[in-house]
Amino acid sequence: MFLNHAQKMLLVAAASLLLMQGCATSAEKSLGMRQSLMQGRPDLALTTVEQNGETSDVMTNMNRGLLRRMNRDYAGSNEVLEAAKKEIEALYGVSVTEQAGAVIANDEAISFKGDRYEQVLVHAYMALNYISLGQIDAARVEMLQADVKMMEWGETPEEDPFARYLTGIVFEALGEADDARVAYSKAVDVYKKTKSRHGLNIPSQLKSDLLFSLSKTGMNDELQRYKKEFGMNGYKAPATKGMGELIVLMHNGLAPQRDQTGIQIFSPELAGNIRIAIPTYPNPPAYVNQIRLQVSGQQKVLEPVENIDGLARAALEGDIAGISARALARAVVKKKMEKEAGDRGGGLMQLAMLVVNTASEIADTRCWNTLPQEIQLGRVYLPEGTHQVKMDVIGQTGAVVDTYEMPVVIKANRKTIISEHWVAPRPLITAPAESENATTTAANDTH
């Protein structure tokens, strides 16, 4: 026998993984699901994913959770997102066995637990599901867990600005004005700190929300400081007594899908260049449609509050050095195995090893690929009663490419939250279920 026991086991492991993966990247395997979404059929996308049945796989449950949400199964969405959340915690501290598998096979041998921004968004989407179910207290718990998650990543926490913003909205909906003020202030700081990777300025709506919160809580010194910082010296708190507030969130577009590319990299050990496969994102990002809200004579264009496309690219950029180092180490090991196979078993065995190594060398293209490209937000105050809401999706040419219309019940001193997903035109929504437009149960502070 030309291979020792350890080498045979490695060859068997690589071949087994190759058979399981079918030589396809994760991106290729999820192509049908994404195509259904891009055709405006989240129901078909969900059917595709649910065919796998129950699983502990984090990426699958992330996608199942978001697709169930798009199909308005909010309780079912939280069920599988909770499973993803628990598995993420279980995967902290990757095993030596997985790292060894990544050296001989590919990075998909390492269990997927998502990038940090994806882990935070699990909590955010669970909170939004609870809001749609009318369980605002449960949403509060979820956002507090998101805070714990963000703060556990070292002395310089990796915070998500939208999560901070959403936390403030939840606190405000519960009438916890001081906590809302703190959350909005933190959100402002995080938008500043993350602009280089997130790509967003402080949303103008958030500036108004923070000033309103400061005025409500009597923080006059801070109010004046932020008015000056924001260039909003003429700001006056709106008169909201007896009014209710409509908050609209549109989860717009589709996050980029990781792809793979081959590059040549120099190996000092082999004294020459060697080809490796690394993940990449298509460039540039796709155009994201604008959303125009119209209700009771008021009109506004929703504002981006989360740039998931930017976060995804920044996360990969931060990881690419480690990914490339593992790929190079893997390529060196495989070349040595090929040579040894040829030395001991002849050209046929060397060719067999080459085939296995080449086919198994794929980039890790796994990602939460049902996320939107960005999240947009708008807020308006309305008198109590039933209002007809219209949301136009405005394409790149300025033309309306899709329209949402729905009646919304506004209650005085309450917040009504609409949260919709748009990827492509789909049948007109005219009568949403009651749980889709959640009205908070706690009174807001009003003027």
Q: What is the 3-state secondary structure (H, E, C) of 205-224?
A: HHHHHHHHHHHHCCCHHHHH
Structure tokens at 157: 């926490």
Domain annotation covers residue 447 = no
What pLDDT was estimated at residue 430? 43
pLDDT of amino acid 13? 52
Task: Give me the pLDDT at residue 155, please.
Answer: 65
How many structural domains compose the chain?
1
Q: State the pLDDT at residue 179.
A: 97
Pull the structure tokens for residue 384: 């109590």
Our measurement of the distance from residue 208's CA atom to the centroid of its chain's CA atoms, rounded to an integer in Å, reads: 26
Question: How confident is the model over 24-58, as pLDDT tens digits?
Answer: 788 888 899 999 999 999 999 999 999 877 788 99
In this structure, is residue 19 part of a structural domain? yes
Give CA separation, 430 vs 106, 180, 299, 403, 417, in Å.
48, 33, 19, 10, 17
Going by the DSSP 8-state scheme, the letter that residue 200 receives in this structure is: -
Q: What's residue 56's pLDDT?
A: 85
Q: How far apart are CA 205 and CA 302, in angstroms?
A: 9
Domain that holds residue 96: 5-439
Taking each helix axis from N to C terminus, what angle separates 136-151 and 116-132, rounded to the nearest 10 degrees? 170
Look at residue 335 and tell me if it is in a domain.
yes
Distance CA 224, CA 340 (A): 73
Find the CATH number of the domain harbouring 391. Answer: 1.25.40.10
Q: How far is CA 153 from each of CA 253, 306, 308, 424, rounded to the nearest angstrom? A: 29, 20, 20, 36
308: in domain: yes
Q: Are 38 and 342 in contact (CB under 8 A)?
A: no
Q: How far apart are CA 94 and CA 70, in angstroms?
A: 32
Q: Which residues of the chain have pLDDT under 50?
A: 1-2, 6, 19-22, 96, 100-102, 429-435, 441-447
Q: Which of 222, 179, 225, 186 lies closest to 206, judged by CA?
A: 186
